């Protein structure tokens, strides 16, 4: 792959920069002034921020910069992923709420384009693209852990509806979501990867209770969701009844790619912290900075691999797992280095801490990308089996009906 911009990439980058400059302001260089006043936002501030994110998403959609890779008939521009990557890279330089609609735009949208009915696409895609319909992902369960196919939320068919009972957990943004993508078990007699159905659910449906989970930094991002006799039309099913695992793989691949390409602290900002703490000449710290600089470069080149697969018409598979696993390790190593550079000040919080506790917050947040979208252990299995060609992990439950599995 040629890492320099081709003529069409250069033209598109100039187009993006011109539009962004006309519609947004650049972030402060290094974000130092912003971080000095950093603190977790209150719930009221979250609501104000979310309203701003909706306005920005609508602005992008109106100008043709939302859902860039989507087909034109769904409001996109059918651009290759490499050009979408250019827009996101340039957008990250501006002071705008860029990733508030990641579940809808990056996960639900591609899934409905690949597997949804015309009714699903007509009802949801334009609203997703414009930020008018916010989505959450109702996959994880307390009793399933990393074994997503071990989910036990059950759905019984009743006429032209399904009646759902169960619990989901770690549901990002459920407190603000209008709709959710939901996995349920519709055939407990089948093997666990069979008998799963993928459906869409209106979060205002009676019987849905969202309970926010307050995190270590005081913010609310994740939620528990309880479903009690929730009635969902069968018309909301994506794909076929009991065949939801294939649809799920489309969503998970998109999620891993989105997480792998997610924003993070830039290396120049890590250097800023080292200089601020007066440790940039410490030989041990400098070794840590050198290792981290290497990881940042590896991240950049892995991103090129994912974009190359997409631009060649291949759905990123193992590439996205490798990327996500690497991002997890980058977050872990970076978080440890932040604390090492701050020394005793790393135990402080909010106004008492360097940069208002921003780097402590990043350290505490590292476990979200290491667990969400498939844990590091799951990604290693994918890489071992699908990239290195190692024998598959021994599975005693492969041919056992779900109802006969020992759980809990």
Which comes out higher in pLDDT, residue 34 or 257? 257
**pLDDT higher than threshold 80 for residue 383:** yes
How confident is the model over 333-365, as pLDDT tens digits? 999 999 999 999 999 987 788 888 888 888 888
pLDDT of residue 371: 78
Determine which of 221-230, 336-345, 396-405 has the lowest per-residue pLDDT on average.
396-405
Residue 196 has phi, psi (to 5 degrees) of -105, 135
Q: Cite the beta strand spans of 186-323 per DSSP E.
A: 196-202, 208-214, 220-233, 237-238
| pLDDT tens, position by position, 172-203 | 889 999 999 999 999 999 998 899 999 999 99
Q: Range with the lowest mean pLDDT among 65-74, 94-103, 228-237?
A: 94-103
- pLDDT band, residue 402 (cuts 50/70/90): confident
Q: Which of 224, 255, 319, 333 is catalytic?
A: 255
pLDDT of the residue at 134: 94
- The more confidently predicted of residues 378 and 308 is 378
- What does the pLDDT average to over 27-40? 57
Cα Rg of the chain (Å, integer)? 22
Mean pLDDT of all residues belonging to the chain: 87
Task: State yes or no: pLDDT of 132 exceeds 60.
Answer: yes
Two structure tokens written together for 325 = 């696993």
Alpha-carbon span 105 to 125, nearest angstrom: 9
Judged against a pLDDT cut of 70, whether residue 31 lies above it is answered with no
What pLDDT, on the 0 to 100 scale, is given for residue 264?
63
**Distance separating alpha carbons of residues 166 and 405, to the nearest angstrom:** 18
Q: Residues 316-340: what's their mean pLDDT?
A: 84
Apex CA 379: angle with CA 373 and CA 381, to 5°? 140
pLDDT exceeds cutoff 70 at 274? yes
What pLDDT, in 10s, does the model give residues 133-151? 999 999 999 988 778 889 9
Give dist(CA 219, CA 380) in Å, integer: 30
Tokens linked to 313: 């018409």
Characterize the bridge pairing of strands 179-185 and 135-138. Answer: parallel
Nearest to 295 by CA among 319, 267, 269, 261: 267
Output 198 or 101, whichever has higher pLDDT.
198
Integer Cα distance of 167 and 14 in angstroms: 47
Average pLDDT on 7-27 reads 94
Burial of residue 126 (number of CB atoms within 10 Å: 0-12, 13-18, 19+): middle
CB of 167 closer than 8 Å to CB of 151: no
Which strand (E) or helix (H) includes residue 194?
Answer: none
Distance between CA atoms of residues 338 and 340, nearest Å: 5
- Rounded distance between C-alpha atoms, residue 247 and residue 243, angstroms: 8
How much is the pLDDT for 403? 81
Instruction: Please report the domains of the chain, with CATH numbers, ordered by start residue.
Output: 7-100 (1.10.540), 135-243 (2.40.110.10), 264-386 (1.20.140.10)
Residue 2 confidence (pLDDT): 58
Whose CA is closest to 248, among 292, 195, 287?
A: 195
Report which of residues 241 and 314 the model is more confident about: 241
Model pLDDT, residue 361: 84
Q: For residue 55, is pLDDT > 90?
A: yes
Distance CA 100, CA 263 (A): 12
Q: What percent of the chain lies above the pLDDT cut of 90?
A: 52
Q: In whole angstroms, what is the distance from residue 87 CA to residue 96 CA?
A: 13
With cut-offs at 50, 70 and 90, classify the pLDDT of residue 288. Answer: very high
Which residue shows structure tokens 């100008």? 63
Higher pLDDT, residue 324 or 158: 158
Predicted pLDDT at 362: 85
pLDDT > 90? residue 42: no
Say if CB 246 and CB 173 are below 8 A apart: no
- Respond yes or no: is residue 119 known to be catalytic: no
Measured distance CA(241)–CA(45) in Å, rounded = 41
Strands (E) in 74-153, as ranges, are 135-138
Q: Which residues contact 82 (CB under 8 A, 6 or more apart)?
A: 9, 307, 308, 310, 311
Other C-beta atoms lying within 10 Å of the C-beta of residue 249: 13
Nearest to 349 by CA among 222, 219, 213: 219
- Tens-digit pLDDT profile for residues 301-312: 887 776 666 666
Q: Does the pLDDT of residue 33 top 60, yes or no?
A: no
Q: Is the pTM of this model over 0.85?
A: no
pLDDT exceeds 90 at position 4: no
Query: Is residue 399 predicted with pLDDT exceeding 90?
Result: no
């Amino acid at each position: 792959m040629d890492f320099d911009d081709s003529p069409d990439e250069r033209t598109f980058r100039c187009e993006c920069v011109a539009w962004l400059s006309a519609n947004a302001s650049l972030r402060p260089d290094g974000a130092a002034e912003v971080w000095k006043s950093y603190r977790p936002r209150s719930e009221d501030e979250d609501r104000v921020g979310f309203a701003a994110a909706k306005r920005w998403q609508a602005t992008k959609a109106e100008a043709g910069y939302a859902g860039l890779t989507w087909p034109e008939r769904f409001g996109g521009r059918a651009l290759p992923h490499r050009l979408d990557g250019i827009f996101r890279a340039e957008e990250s330089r501006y002071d705008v709420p860029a990733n508030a609609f990641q579940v809808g735009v990056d996960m639900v949208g591609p899934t409905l384009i690949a597997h949804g009915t015309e009714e699903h696409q007509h009802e949801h895609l334009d609203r997703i693209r414009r930020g008018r319909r916010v989505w959450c992902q109702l996959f994880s369960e307390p009793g399933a852990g990393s074994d997503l196919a071990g989910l036990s939320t059950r759905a019984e068919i009743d006429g032209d509806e399904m009646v759902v009972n169960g619990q989901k957990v770690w549901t990002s943004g459920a407190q603000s979501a209008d709709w959710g993508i939901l996995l349920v078990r519709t055939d407990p007699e089948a093997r666990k990867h069979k008998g799963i159905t993928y459906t869409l659910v209106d979060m205002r449906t009676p019987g849905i209770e969202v309970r926010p989970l307050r995190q270590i930094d005081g913010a609310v991002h994740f939620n528990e969701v309880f479903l009690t006799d929730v009635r969902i039309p069968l018309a909301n099913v994506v794909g076929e009844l009991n065949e939801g695992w294939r649809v799920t793989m489309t969503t998970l691949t998109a999620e891993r790619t989105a997480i792998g390409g997610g924003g993070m602290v830039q290396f120049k900002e890590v250097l800023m912290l080292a200089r601020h703490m007066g440790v940039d000449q410490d030989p041990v710290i400098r070794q840590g900075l050198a290792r981290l600089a290497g990881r940042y470069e590896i991240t950049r080149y892995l991103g090129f691999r994912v974009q190359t697969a997409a631009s060649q018409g291949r759905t990123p598979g193992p590439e996205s797992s490798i990327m996500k696993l690497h991002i997890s390790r980058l977050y872990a190593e970076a978080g440890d280095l932040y604390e090492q550079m701050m020394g005793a000040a790393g135990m402080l919080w909010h106004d008492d801490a360097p940069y208002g506790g921003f780097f402590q917050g990043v350290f505490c947040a590292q476990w979200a990308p290491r667990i969400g979208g498939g844990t590091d252990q799951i990604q290693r299995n994918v890489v071992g089996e699908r990239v290195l060609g190692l024998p598959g992990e021994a599975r005693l439950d492969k041919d056992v009906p779900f109802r006969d599995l020992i759980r809990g």
